[in-house]
Amino acid sequence: MLKYILKRGVTYIVMAFLATSAAFFMASAFFKPGQAYEARTPRPSQASINQMLAGYGLDPNRPIILKYFDWLQRVFLHWDWGRTPTGAYVNHEFGTRVWVSARLVLISVLLTLIIGVALGVISASRQYSMADRTLTTYSYITFILPAPVAYLLIQLGGIAINQAVGHRIFFVTGLYTTGITGFWPSLLDLIAHMIVPTFAMVIFGWGGYQTAQRQFLLDNVSADFVRTARATGLSRSKAIRKHALRVSFIPVAQSIAFTIPAIFTGSFFAESIFNWPGVGLWSIQAIGNQDVSTATVMVAYGAMIFAIGAIIADIATSALDPRVRL
């Protein structure tokens, strides 16, 4: 299995490199990083703007192919992902923000997967019951409801609860409360700020897992190997847990590689609405600022997340299905 995972890992690294390189060429070709200076009053001369951008590796007059090779040299030799049009170092900006996003997204991913699969099993084992119809209908609603609208509704719900109670129970914006010191008080404050955005991402994220797990499990409930297991004396519920569930989870595990990036994309909206200073909010601001370096590093970040999700899916699949290891 190790050889299989290593082979897949090399493939994902090559894909990430190609995607990141394409992002650099496209951002360099279409973005205008001097826009941030042109909006200033008094407006600097074009020559001074070009000179400042050249110092940040963003000279608009330099051929893109030469800027690309300069960028490759900085990344591979110094792990320097460049600078923003205002001179900030992308490494520092990304490093301080990625852990903010990780706190929110990692917990959301785990809860989304666990809850979605569990509800899918419950829904399939009670097919056409009231619980099955309710869960499946809700999952379909989450598919058609845009993430920004869904998160905004959760935020408004938290505000309404606070107003009804007469004091703040839920924090609906921000990462922390100023003035709090000490490890445990700071940790409790962080958890309090995480409740609402995490809740929003989870309840509007597990629908895909629920419907997929339900459908795959139903496809295997009537399979020959399940009927054989029941013929040996196993009850329906035990036959589903010991045999059908394992087989039906294989395609769900394979879909992890594609759903994890979707959850990270959803975090972009969550960070904007709940005012979390993570990489999602930063990347949206970077596009508005025509920031070539930030746009490139965000594509690399997304490709890395996809690769991690794909490797996790490969490990889970090979653990569940011995034919993959062969």
Domains belonging to the chain, first-starting first, are: 12-78 (no CATH), 93-325 (1.10.3720.10)
> What is the structure's pLDDT at 317?
77
The per-residue b/e assignment along 60-69, b for 16 or more CB within 10 angstroms, e otherwise, is beeeeeebee
Q: Dihedral of CA 241/242/243/249: which sign? A: positive
Total length of the chain: 326
pLDDT > 70: percent of the chain: 94
Under the phi-then-psi rule, with left for phi > 0, alpha for psi from -120 to 50, and beta for the rest, what region is 41? beta
> What is the structure's pLDDT at 292?
93
> What is the structure's pLDDT at 326?
47
Tell me how far apart the alpha carbons of residues 270 and 107 are, in angstroms, rounded to a whole number.
14
Which residue stretches of the chain have pLDDT < 70? 1, 257-266, 322-326
> What is the structure's pLDDT at 269?
84
> In the structure encoding, which two tokens stand for residue 324, read together?
């993959």
pTM of the model: 0.81
Query: How far separated are the first and last CA of the chain, in Å rounded?
Result: 8
> What is the structure's pLDDT at 265?
61
